[in-house]
Structure 1
Amino acid sequence: MTTNSPYQLAVVISSVREGRFAPVVANWFLDRAKQRDDLALTVIDLAETPGGLASGVATADAVVVIVPEYNHSYPGPFKNALDETGREWHGKPVAFVSYGGISGGLRAVEHLRPVFAELHAMTIRETVSFPYAWNNFGSDGEHLDADGADLAATTLLNQLNWWANALRDARQVRPYAA
């Protein structure tokens, strides 16, 4: 049974630090996602609703994690939040929008991939990453290389759309069993 209704996309803002850059990156990504009619958005900001991860992911068909790189990895509070979840992630695709210094947060993403494998989630290949993010966004919150950044976001969302619908349809036919 294939459904044509928009899939439910949860966007998780994983940084909780005071003075964090996450809202700039998240707002930029959310502006792109809101332009699409193939998804319905929910935002889970761990700084505002630390206990909302499990319920937000449980109702989602797919998840995008906005993740900074701290000390060559991802934020500790996000690890704690992930460790308090489990079944909510089973059989769901996860994509990443990362930011940080020279690596653009990709080291954080690479540390997260095996964690999500353990949670029985499927991480997609495409990512959006922003090296030296704080130098690449204008005061209006727009990326200074709009064409390149927008193309990366479109590519990620197109791939996520396929996985979200394929896995949603599969879970309806045969519930995921770990």
Structure 2
Amino acid sequence: MSNPVLQVITASTRDGRKGDAVARWMRQVAEAHGGFDVELVDLAEVGLPLLDEPNHPRLGQYKHQHTRDWSAIVQRADAYVFVTPEYNHSFPASLKNALDHLFVEWKNKPAGLVSYGGVSAGLRAATALKPVLSSLKIVPVLEAVSVPMFAQFLTEDGEFVPSAQVEASAKTMLDELLKLAGALRTLRAE
């Protein structure tokens, strides 16, 4: 059996964002972990408009090509890591919109959270995101990565190089994601 597919999803889409550096780092950690085939998914590149489908996503009756393309991307994953900043005590609208576009494609898959920010480390974004994930039948793992004052870990050329503690928490989260990806795969087969 092949490795499960893990998608590292970059939530921030704004110009000047730094989350893409955090997501690239997370992809490298996941690739080094060795338990997953890893894909980097950047919501800025996906470019979804505000939800514009006439039918409820639960039905999977997508009228627009951008939704069908997004569905195909999300469908091929067995697990996710959402890399999110904190905007106004929550996660970005781009991530909520991307989640809301689909339903069945997310179901019975685990997700890890990598939040980053200032003093709060993006924890309020992660807290706000969990009930949304649960409503989509995504299973958030307890182990998460929170990066306080994340700008201190950016090099002059924009690479994210975190502390050993942040690195260790990412590896722990990936271990848990791998366990759940296998367990939840059987539910998706029913």
- SS, match of residue 154 in structure 2: coil
Describe the superposition over 1:121-176 as per-residue Cα deviations: whole angstroms up to 9, x where unpaired.
1111011111111122333624252x21221111010011100111113323x2xx
Residue 90 of structure 1 corresponds to 107
What is the CA deviation profile of residues 6-58 of structure 1, one whole-angstrom value per residue up to 9, with x for unaligned ones? Answer: 11111111100100011111111111111132110112101011245432221
Instruction: Please say if residues 121 and 148 of structure 2, whose CA atoms lie closer than 8 Å, have aligned partners that are also in contact.
Output: yes
Which residue does 2:57 correspond to in 1?
A: none
Structure 1 segments, 4+ long, off by >6 Å, are none
Segment of structure 1 superposing worse, 41-50 or 107-116: 41-50
Distance 1:115 1:95 in 2: 13
- 2:148 is equivalent to residue 131 of structure 1: yes
CA distance in 2, matches of 1:61, 1:134: 31
Decide whether the 8 Å contact of 2:33 with 2:174 is kept in 1: no
* 2:8 is the counterpart of 1:11: yes
Q: Is the 8 A contact 1:63 1:94 kept in 2?
A: yes
Cα distance in structure 1, aligned partners of 2:141 and 2:77: 16
TM-score w.r.t. the length of structure 2 is 0.83
Q: Which residue of 2 aligns with 1:105?
A: 122
> Which of 161, 172, 180 in structure 2 is aligned with 1:163?
180
Query: How far does residue 87 in structure 1 lie from its aligned partner after superposition?
Result: 0.7
Quote the Cα distance in structure 2 between the aligned partners of 1:11 and 1:144. 17
Aligned length: 169
When structure 1 is superposed on structure 2, of 37-46 and 66-75 the one drifting more is: 37-46
Structure having the higher strand fraction is 1
The aligned runs of 1:1-178 (5 Å cut-off) are 4-51=1-48, 53-139=70-156, 141-145=159-163, 147-172=164-189, 174=190
Identity of counterpart residues, as a percentage? Answer: 38
Unaligned runs of 5+ in 2: 49-68
Cα RMSD for the two superposed structures: 1.5
User: How many angstroms apart in 1 are the aligned matches of 2:134 and 2:20?
Assistant: 27
What is the rounded CA distance, in whole Å, between the counterparts of 1:58 and 1:111 in structure 2?
24
TM-score, structure 1 as length reference: 0.89
| Aligned mates of 2:119, 2:162 — CA distance in 1 | 17
Contact 1:10-1:56 within 8 A present in 2 as well: no
CA distance in structure 1 between the aligned counterparts of 2:34 and 2:116, rounded to whole angstroms? 26
Tell whether the 8 Å contact from 1:42 to 1:56 is kept in structure 2 after alignment: no
Work out whether residues 143 and 149 of structure 1, in 8 Å CA contact, stay in contact via their aligned partners in 2: no
Q: Is the 8 A contact 2:24 2:40 kept in 1?
A: no
Please give the alpha-carbon distance, in whole angstroms, between the structure 2 residues aligned to 1:8 and 1:144.
24
Q: Which string of whole-angstrom CA distances, capped at 9 and with x for unpartnered residues, describes residues 61-108 of structure 1? A: 101101000110000121112111111111111111110111111110
- CA gap 1:79/1:142 in 2 versus in 1, 3 angstroms: closer
Work out the CA distance in 2 between the residues paired with 1:80 and 1:158: 28
